[in-house]
Structures are given as structure tokens and as C-alpha cells.
């Protein structure tokens, strides 16, 4: 599992509060599972996804379903526990459902690496510590 982004930018005229950063930083977001591209979505609110992933990682007792204020349908990114105890990752935008199951450590490491990359971009380009 790998989450990344390219072409990040700040989509609002100025930063006036933390919500501006939450929805104002957008990029082309990509999600890979087993080396296969699952979804690539432009203008994706990467800080908002980072925030929700970290909240879920703090207490991963249930499934993760990303619902952004920019879109009214949940599951733009989802992480679901399987009967085997492993996890599957996907998106409502993907064209096919992969059958790859992942251990929590792999999911956690990928989500944490994505969060760190987003934090680094925001600090480097906006001077804001998330």
C-alpha cells in the first residue's frame, strides 16, 4: 500500500484559520495497492485526508471511510477490516475491487508516511506546522 500526491498547491487566496489549510491544500492524490494504481484524483484535499487518517490510526477499532466536506459521498478512501483480521483498501472511484489483504502494520506505515509527506509540504510551502 502506498499513498502519495503530486502537484500540490494552496487553492485559497489567504490562510485565515486552520480550516483554510484543511481544505485549501489540494493535489493529485494516488493510492496504490500491491503496486497497482487504485485511484488517481486531482484537486484532492490532502490535509483533510491526513487529518482523518491520523485520527483513525489513533483508534483503529473500526473501518476507515473518508468523507470530505468537498464531497457528499463517503468512501473516497476506505480501509476495511476483513473477516481474516487483515485489511482491504480502496475507493468508491476505483474501477475494480482488489482482493489484496494487508496487515495493519503495512496500512499504518503507509498512512503515517503519507501524513508525514503532507506535513512536510505544508510546512515547507506555507510555513505552517500541522
Residue 97 confidence (pLDDT): 66
CA-based torsion, 43, 107, 128, 73: positive or negative: positive
pLDDT single digits (tens) 26-45:
999 999 999 999 999 999 99
Please say if the pLDDT value at position 126 is more than 80: yes
Contact 79, 87 (CB under 8 A): yes
CA-based torsion, 70, 51, 114, 119: positive or negative: positive
How far, in Å, CA of 6 to CA of 19, rounded?
Answer: 21
pLDDT single digits (tens) 81-110:
999 999 999 998 886 666 799 999 999 999
CA-based torsion, 100, 40, 43, 122: positive or negative: positive
Domain that holds residue 91: 2-126
Contact 1, 110 (CB under 8 A): yes
| Number of domains comprising the chain | 1
Amino acid at each position: 500500500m502506498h499513498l502519495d500526491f503530486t502537484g500540490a498547491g494552496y487553492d485559497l487566496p489567504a490562510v485565515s484559520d486552520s480550516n483554510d489549510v484543511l481544505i485549501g491544500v489540494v493535489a493529485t492524490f494516488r493510492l496504490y495497492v500491491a503496486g497497482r494504481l487504485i485511484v488517481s484524483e486531482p484537486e484532492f484535499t490532502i490535509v483533510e485526508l491526513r487529518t482523518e487518517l491520523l485520527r483513525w490510526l489513533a483508534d483503529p477499532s473500526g473501518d476507515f471511510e473518508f468523507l470530505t466536506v468537498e464531497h457528499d459521498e463517503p468512501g473516497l478512501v476506505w480501509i476495511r477490516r476483513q473477516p481474516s483480521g487483515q485489511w482491504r483498501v480502496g475507493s468508491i472511484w476505483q474501477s475494480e475491487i482488489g482482493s489484496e489483504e494487508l496487515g495493519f502494520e503495512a496500512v499504518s506505515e503507509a498512512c503515517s508516511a503519507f501524513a508525514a509527506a503532507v506535513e512536510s509540504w505544508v510546512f515547507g510551502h506555507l510555513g505552517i506546522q500541522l
